[in-house]
Every structure is written in C-alpha cells, then in structure tokens.
Amino acid sequence: METDSRSPIGIFDSGVGGLTVYRALHDRLPNERFIYLGDTARVPYGTKSLATVERYAIENSQFLASRGIKMLVVACNTASALALPKIREKIGIDVVGVIGPGGRKAVDLTRGRDPAKIGVIATEATISSNAYVEAIRRASNSAEVFQSACPLFVPLAEEGWTDEPETRSIAARYLAGIKEFSPDALVLGCTHYPILRDVIQQTVGEGVMLVDSGEATADEVARILSDRGLADLDARPGRRALCDDLDHFYVTDAAERFARVAERFLGTQPSKLEAIELTGRRLTLLGQVT
Amino acid sequence: METDSRSPIGIFDSGVGGLTVYRALHDRLPNERFIYLGDTARVPYGTKSLATVERYAIENSQFLASRGIKMLVVACNTASALALPKIREKIGIDVVGVIGPGGRKAVDLTRGRDPAKIGVIATEATISSNAYVEAIRRASNSAEVFQSACPLFVPLAEEGWTDEPETRSIAARYLAGIKEFSPDALVLGCTHYPILRDVIQQTVGEGVMLVDSGEATADEVARILSDRGLADLDARPGRRALCDDLDHFYVTDAAERFARVAERFLGTQPSKLEAIELTGRRLTLLGQVT
C-alpha cells in the first residue's frame, strides 16, 4: 500500500501494556496519527514459545501494514525480543522494537561512569531471552548488567494497585537484588512497568535513573521519521488529546476490558475502538465500543 | 470413537490451573487413567469473550474426544461458565463442568442453616458470568450468596507465593467483604485457588467450610461413572503416583513452563507431556518434554 508522511504510525502489543508506548509516542510526536492493535485474544506472549510469538507478531504486523501505516512500532517487549527479524522479512516498512532503544538509552545515560552499571527488570520471557543484555552489549563493551524478573508487576499494574502497601512490599522483594547491585540506570523492560514507576523509583532510590523503553522508542521513532522525511509536518490546531478520534484502536477480543484498563493507564478511553478477528489477513469486525 | 470402561477420562483447562482438578480426580478415582489438555497457547480465558471461549472450548473438547475418552471434565471455570451447552452439542459423551458440582456441594454442606450463607471467590470473568450464583440458586431457593473477584490470586499461585506476607495481606484485602458477610461455606471458584487454600482458610477463619470445586467435581464424576457402568474396575497393583506414565498430558505451547508450574502445584512433573498445535482437529506435535 502507498504510504507518505500523512500516513499513520502502527503500534502493536500483545494487549493493553503497549498503551504506555502509545502515550510516549503521542507526547513526543503530537502531529502524528496512530493505529494501535492489542492482541487481547492471545495475550500474554511472555509465556509462549518462539514459533508462536513469531506467528502472532507477523499476523499483527500484516494487519497493520494492510491499514497503510508508514512505520511499525513493536511495543511488546516479548515480540521485540523474539520476532523483529521475521517481521522485517515480511513487511516492507521501517520496524522499531522497544528493546534496542531502551538498551541504547541506558548506555547513553550512563556514559562516563566506569564501569557503567545498568539494571534491567522485565517479564520472565524477556529476561530469559537476554535481549536487553545483548542490546546493551552492542552499545557498550564495558557496561555491567544485572537483570531481574518481576512477574507480579503486570497483574498489579492492571489491577491499578500503583500505591498499595502490598505493591511496595512486593517491589522491595523483587528489587532487592537490583538494589544490592546498585545500578546507575534501571531499564523498565516491560510496557506495564511505567505504571508502577513511582513505587519502583522509591524502592531503588532517587539516585537511580529510570529508563522507560517506550520513551526511548519514541525518541528513536522521531529521529527515523525525520531522517526519512516521513514526519507529518502539517501542524494540527492545538495540542491533541490522548485517544482522540484521529487515533484508531483495534483489539482482537474483549474490547470492554481493554477500555477499562486504558482508563486506568491513560486516564481516558479510546474514541475509536474496534474488536476484530485476525485470521491470516482476513478482518472480521466483532464489535465496536464508543 | 468406541469407548468403554477402560478408556481414559479427558480433562481440559485453559492452562495449568486445572492440575488441581486432575489431582482431585486422581485421588478420588485411583483406578482411572487421564488425558489432560492445557491450552497454554491461548491462556487465560477469563479475559476473553463468550464467542472466543466457546470456540476454544469446542476445539479442546474435539481434540480430547478424538483421543477416545469416555467422559470429559471441563476443569476451567470460565469455560464451564460459558461453554458447556455448546460443548455438549458437539460431542457425544458425558461432560462435567466444575461450577455445577461446586455450587451443589456448597448447598449440601450448608443444609440446615437458615438461611444458608455461601460465599464465592473467582476470577472477574467467572464472577461477572454469575454462573456460581445460578448454580447455587438451582440447588436452593433460600441460600444467600455473596461473591468477590480476586484477580491477583492466580499470579500469586503461579509464582508459588503460598505463604508470603504479601499474599496474606492481599488475601485480607480481597476477602474483607466475604468476612463481613460471614458465610457458612466459601466456594473456591477458580482452579488456582486450592493452591492458596491455607492462606484463604486462615483469612476467613477456621469456622468457614471451604469448597474446592475440583473435589466436588471428582465426587460427581465418580457417581456418573458408577451410574453408567463406566468405572474402570480392574484394580491396578498399588496406589498410582500422580503424573505417572499412564496419564498423558498435552499443552498447546510452552511445555517447559507447564512442567515447572506443575512441579509447584503437584510436587511432581508429568511423565508424558507433549506440546501440540490445535487447528480444528488437526494435530501437530511441536515437541516432547520428558
């Protein structure tokens, strides 16, 4: 499909977590329009195998490509860790994952420290993939990396427990190893974790720089759009609201639950939200929430 | 497919939680063999729509029926709540869900109390379906029912946090309404909850009778097998171990993770565990863990 600078940017995630990446992109690129796909029928990806994650990621990417996007952001850490090469093989536009930008940003922020000490927290799948460690290694030979899985952070974020004493206590337990390592920077390597940013910051201490992979990704997307002459330069009147009707949201199931968690994550709900069925490239409209 | 009393009993769940139902069946029916299917590629069902849960449940049931089972146990509460009628329409053997038996057992245990007070805890999807409330109503006109969703119990059980202070604190928070209602019996309406049985019992008080829907289901399966003359009466030498090689386990993805959580839930791992792909009735062997 023909695309140009006026075309939207595609974002997919396994579910609702990628909304933090959408917010970062929206804040960084107020002129752009977005199409977001949350694969809520098959969430979570973090406990699934390489072959399955690749297949799902390609189906999501092909769907978004068929909607005429000028660029694809893979907001899901698991899919970014496992499926970027296959996605790039299948679709002919720029593809940006969240892991490379997150890792590079951590290295940039800690330049001059010798050795730089970088912590990474993420889901079990992302940690086992070693994808952040490799991304950091590609940007720095000398950085020391320590990583830790925090499986309960995702359900705590979806439950909206951002300031409960149990959340603080669980954070203290999960982050004990990280604190002992005493990193200069800590990568929030899961799209849900920015929702718990305050608790995480207070637990590891104010001296640790938190790296939001979504924000790092937004910076990288802005740079690529500008390099390629693909930035949308037609200024829109005023600052656009999150989730206004220029952005289009699709989910593969359970749209009401997505809208509810979106409210928790963004303080607002998508104006345009549709439930679709992805079977190969076929698109079936299951329902619409407005 | 021809089946007789020597045929195995089929069990399916959306993932690993149904292993508590497998354990209850194994304990109650030591002579029977089981085929367990965990749909780990599509777990969880609790956040998905009716149409999607029905489709997945039918695919799982048809797979197990094709393996020559004499009876089907739907261990998944969500599938039991939403998909039993469609499953029964599609396969020609007895089908037992976990909700009817759990609800009836709670009514039986509280007979004589006037009014009987029954609490139900489950996932958000099961609570919203009202399936337990309806099952209890069918068995008793007078029982008072109070139900409460406990979303973090599933990840806490899978994390193996059965005795952590955070688990106690979260249980106290989730079960505050139940405690105030002061039930005679409390239904554990999610397959994961028996893993947290001790914490739940201590939180609501020793006077509350806990109803494990898996155990109630095992009693009902025993009764139906006996009524139909389908019980396997050939005594096997000695008591069989859980997960021995007479029981066959299938998952649709991520067999290693399933084996790891099985170890946490049952203290042992399946001797025979295969990963398969369910596409309609086609069966592709993805791998084997031994």
Q: Which domains does chain A have, with CATH numbers?
A: 9-98+215-289 (3.40.50.1860), 100-213 (3.40.50.1860)
Among B7, B61, B12, CA closest to B31? B7
pLDDT for A14: 94
Q: Do B152 and A151 touch (CB under 8 A)?
A: no
Please indicate whether, in this complex, the C-beta atoms of A169 and B166 are within 8 angstroms of each other.
Answer: yes
Beta-carbon separation of A166 and B151 below 8 A: no
Q: Which of B120, B190, B254, B261 is catalytic?
A: B190
Half-sphere exposure of residue B236: CA atoms within 13 angstroms, side-chain side? 12
Q: Which of these, A156, A240, A231, lies nearest to A200 by C-alpha position?
A: A156
Interface subset of B 239-258, CB within 8 angstroms of A: 253-254, 257
For residue A16, report the phi and psi dihedrals to the nearest 5 degrees. Answer: -95, -20
Among candidates A52, A166, A169 on the partner chain, residue whose Cβ is nearest the Cβ of B41: A52
- SS3 label, residue A250: strand
How does pLDDT run across A87-110, given as a tens digit for each residue?
Answer: 999 999 999 999 999 999 999 999
Indicate the DSSP class of residue A67.
T
Residue B124 has a pLDDT of 85
Which of the following is catalytic: B72, B76, B98, B262? B76
Residue B278 confidence (pLDDT)? 79
Q: Which two tokens stand for residue A67?
A: 């909607």
CA distance A29 to chain B (A): 32
The pTM of the full predicted model, rounded to 2 decimals, is 0.89
Nearest-CA neighbor of A188 among A72, A73, A103, A78?
A103
DSSP, res A47 = T
Q: What is the pLDDT of residue B125?
A: 83
Q: For B166, which residue in chain A has the nearest alpha carbon?
A: A166
Average pLDDT (B150-171) is 95
In this prediction, residue B289 carries a pLDDT of: 56
pLDDT band of B281, cuts 50, 70, 90: very low
What are the backbone dihedrals phi and psi of residue B146, each rounded to the nearest 5 degrees, phi first?
Answer: -130, 130
Q: Does the beta carbon of A155 lie under 8 angstroms from any beta carbon of chain B?
A: yes
The mean pLDDT value of chain A amounts to 92
β-sheet bridge partners, residue A145: A118
The arithmetic mean of pLDDT across residues B208-214, rounded, is 97
Q: Cα separation of A175 and A150, whole Å?
A: 8
Residue B290 has a pLDDT of 47
Distance CA B142, CA B135 (A): 13
- The predicted model gives B31-58 an average pLDDT of 90
- Residues whose CB is less than 8 angstroms from the CB of residue B160 and which lie 6 or more positions away in sequence, other chains included: B264
Report helix, strand or coil for B286.
strand
Catalytic residue set of A: 76, 190
B-chain residues near A52 (CB < 8 A): 41, 253-254
Which pLDDT tens digit goes with each residue over A215-250?
A: 999 999 999 999 999 998 876 766 789 999 899 999
Residue B34 β-bridge partners: B9
- The DSSP result for A102-123, as a single string, is HHHHHHHHTTTSTT-EEEEEE-
Model confidence at A277, pLDDT cuts 50, 70, 90, reads confident
**3-class SS of residue A13:** strand
pLDDT for A254 equals: 79
Contacts of residue B151 in chain A, CB cutoff 8 Å?
A: 155, 158-159
Q: What CA–CA distance (Å, rounded) separates B216 from B219?
A: 5
**pLDDT attached to residue B282:** 45
Does any CB of chain A come closer than 8 Å to the CB of residue B40? yes
CA-based nearest distance A24→chain B, Å: 26
In this predicted model, what pLDDT tens digit does every residue of A1-12 receive, in sequence order? Answer: 678 999 999 999
Give the residue-averaged pLDDT of B217-232: 95
A-B contacts (CB, under 8 Å): 63
- In the predicted model, what is the mean pLDDT of residues A112-138? 93
For tokens 């069918």, the residue is B138
Q: Is B76 a catalytic residue?
A: yes
Higher pLDDT, A239 or A111: A111
User: Based on the number of CB atoms within 10 Å of its own CB, is B21 exposed (0-12), middle (13-18) or buried (19 or more)?
Assistant: buried
B51 touching chain A per CB within 8 A: yes
Is A158 in CB contact (< 8 Å) with chain B? Answer: yes
pLDDT at B86 over 50: yes
State the residue for tokens 């996007």: A69
Residue among B100, B63, B64, B78 at smallest CA distance from B18: B78
Q: What does DSSP assign to residue A193?
A: G
Distance of CA B49 to the CA centre of its chain: 19
Bridge partners (DSSP) of residue A10 are: A35, A72
What pLDDT is recorded for position A280? 45
Picking from B173, B257, B286, the nearest residue to A47 by CB comes out as B257
Using omega within 30 degrees of 0 as the cis cutoff, is the peptide bond preceding A8 cis? no
Chain B contact for A152 (CB, 8 A cutoff):
yes
Q: How many CA atoms lie less than 13 Å away from B14 in the CB half-sphere?
A: 27
Return the pLDDT at A279: 63
